[in-house]
């Protein structure tokens, strides 16, 4: 055997042991168990979400309506912020850059408050996923 033959990598086919019928059966059983557990969890989450919806009733819809209003306010603010930024850039920066920084900080703060409100609602038993 030459030195070059010693350095040749083993092909993937030679490195893999053949699977036995028991191996395949074990894999099939593990797959079935995983699917059953996933289905059970999904159904459990669906039932819990449905129960929360019933408990909250119109509260969830009212809360989401308020959040949509806040989302719209934040979007208006973001557009205004973008306009200010564009004006600042086109004016060459100067002292208006400081105002831009405080505007950006306020926008970040507003967005964080909104996210925190959603989190608080969900932790209080709000309804599952926010759409």
Whether residues 30 and 62 fall in one domain: no
How would you label 93-111 residue by residue, b for 16+ Cβ within 10 Å and e otherwise? Answer: eeebeeebeebeeebeeee
User: Looking at the structure, do residues 104 and 90 belong to the same domain, yes or no?
Assistant: yes
Q: Same structural domain for residues 52 and 98?
A: no
Q: Are residues 115 and 92 in the same domain?
A: yes
Mean pLDDT value across the chain: 70
Question: Of residues 89 and 85, which shows the higher confidence score?
Answer: 85
**Between these two residues, 63 and 69, which has the higher pLDDT value?**
69
Q: Which of 43-47, 85-89, 94-98 has the highest mean pLDDT?
A: 43-47
The reply to whether 29 and 52 lie within a common domain is yes
Total tally of structural domains belonging to the chain: 2
Choose the weakest-confidence range: 35-39, 64-68, 72-76, 99-103: 99-103
Q: Do 51 and 73 fall into the same domain? A: no
Q: Where are the alpha helices (DSSP H) in the chain?
A: 3-7, 12-15, 21-56, 58-90, 96-123
Does residue 130 carry a pLDDT above 50?
A: no
For position 13, what pLDDT does the model report? 59
Same domain, 118 and 71: yes
pLDDT greater at residue 51 or residue 84: 51
- Within a domain: residue 4? no
Rg (CA), the chain: 29
Domain that holds residue 106: 58-131
pLDDT in tens, 22-67: 888 888 888 889 888 888 888 888 888 788 778 877 777 787 788 8
How much is the pLDDT for 79?
83
- Confidence (pLDDT) at 95: 47
């Amino acid at each position: 055997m030459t030195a070059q033959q010693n350095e040749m990598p083993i092909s993937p086919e030679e490195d893999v042991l053949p699977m036995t019928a028991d191996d395949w059966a074990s894999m099939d059983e593990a797959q079935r168990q995983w699917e059953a557990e996933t289905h059970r969890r999904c159904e459990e989450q669906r039932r819990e979400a449905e129960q929360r919806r019933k408990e909250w009733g119109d509260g969830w819809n009212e809360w989401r309506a308020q959040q949509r209003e806040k989302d719209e306010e934040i979007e208006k603010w973001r557009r205004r912020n973008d306009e200010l930024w564009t004006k600042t850039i086109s004016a060459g920066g100067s002292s208006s850059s400081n105002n831009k920084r405080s505007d950006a900080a306020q926008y970040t703060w507003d967005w964080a408050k909104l996210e925190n409100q959603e989190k608080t609602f969900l932790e209080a038993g709000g309804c599952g996923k926010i759409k």
